[in-house]
């Protein structure tokens, strides 16, 4: 697979630094699965992160901190850990990072002619929602994001808009400033993983949620 569209550098740096929210993190990680070039960049930044960390001046830990941690070493592990996930709802979706394949997912839902959506349930609430979007060949839509940025990573098929042609592995980063007319130009369905900022209060109201995203 030849990848032509990569996340901007500042996004890779934010990924490596852990500053993206989980939804955004998933979108960038999905691109990384297929992109050795960006993986190398992220690994470089992780090394830089290690050096930055090692060179920081220390801040004294609270009294008894080490003893408190030592008392927990044989316990059930970090309280930050999530309970084991149930189901493997996305095991059948190629191109996802292994950790995402363990997340559960809803069913495919019709949201517009020739367009279906499958929500991915993140283990914790995130300001950015993540879903798969499947569009039939020849579908045209207007991408219009007024709520914030949006990231898409192509898993299969391809689409084209003013910013170029996007095939498997390509990463499309929209900051909400443009309206793009998108056209699915592959012979097979185009499936993308999309991470989109939005108002959490709309959660579950997928039809209304996507109205601003997709107009036919």
CB of 201 to another protein, least distance (A): 14
Which residues within the stretch 31-50 sit at the binding site for another protein (CB under 8 A)? 32-33, 36-37, 39-41, 43-44, 46-50
DSSP state of 187: S
Residue 62 in the binding site for another protein (CB under 8 A)? yes
**Pair of tokens at residue 3:** 């990848």
Q: How far apart are CA 172 and CA 7, in angstroms?
A: 7
**Pair of tokens at residue 138:** 């020849």
Which residues within the stretch 97-116 sit at the binding site for another protein (CB under 8 A)? 97-99
| Nearer CB in complex with another protein: 58/113 | 58
Distance of CA 30 to the CA centre of its chain: 7
Count of positions on this chain that bind another protein (CB under 8 A): 59
172: number of Cβ within 10 Å: 23
User: 135 Cβ partners below 8 Å, 6+ apart?
Assistant: 114, 115, 116, 141, 157, 159, 184, 189, 190
Q: How far apart are CA 73 and CA 153, in angstroms?
A: 40
CB of 63 to another protein, least distance (A): 10
Q: What burial letters (b/e) apply to 47-71, b meaning 16+ CB within 10 Å? A: eeeeeeeeeeeeeeeeeeeeeeeee
Which residues within the stretch 126-155 sit at the binding site for another protein (CB under 8 A)? 126-127
| Nearer CB in complex with another protein: 147/211 | 147
Residue 86 in the binding site for another protein (CB under 8 A)? no
Residue 51 in the binding site for another protein (CB under 8 A)? yes
DSSP state of 84: P
| Nearer CB in complex with another protein: 200/216 | 200
Q: Which residues lie near another protein (CB under 8 A)?
A: 9-10, 12-14, 16-22, 25, 29, 32-33, 36-37, 39-41, 43-44, 46-54, 56-62, 65-66, 68-70, 72-73, 77-82, 97-99, 123-124, 126-127
């Amino acid at each position: 697979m030849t990848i032509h569209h990569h996340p901007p550098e500042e996004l890779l740096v934010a990924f490596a630094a852990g500053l993206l929210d989980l939804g955004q993190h998933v979108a960038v990680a999905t691109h990384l699965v297929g992109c050795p070039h960006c993986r190398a960049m992220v690994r470089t930044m992780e090394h830089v992160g290690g050096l930055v960390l090692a060179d920081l001046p220390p801040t004294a830990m609270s009294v008894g901190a080490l003893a408190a941690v030592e008392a927990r070493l044989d316990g059930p592990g970090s309280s930050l850990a999530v309970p084991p996930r149930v189901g493997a709802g996305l095991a059948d979706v190629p191109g996802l990072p292994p950790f995402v394949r363990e997340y559960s997912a809803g069913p495919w839902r019709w949201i517009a002619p020739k367009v279906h959506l499958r929500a991915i349930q993140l283990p914790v609430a995130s300001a950015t929602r993540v879903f798969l979007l499947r569009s039939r060949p020849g579908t045209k839509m207007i991408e219009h994001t007024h709520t914030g940025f949006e990231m898409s990573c192509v898993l299969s098929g391809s689409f084209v808009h003013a910013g170029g042609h996007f095939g498997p592995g390509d990463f499309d980063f929209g900051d909400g400033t443009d309206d793009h007319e998108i056209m699915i130009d592959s012979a097979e369905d185009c499936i993308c993983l999309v991470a989109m900022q939005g108002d959490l209060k709309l959660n579950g109201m997928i039809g209304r949620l996507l109205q601003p995203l997709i107009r036919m």
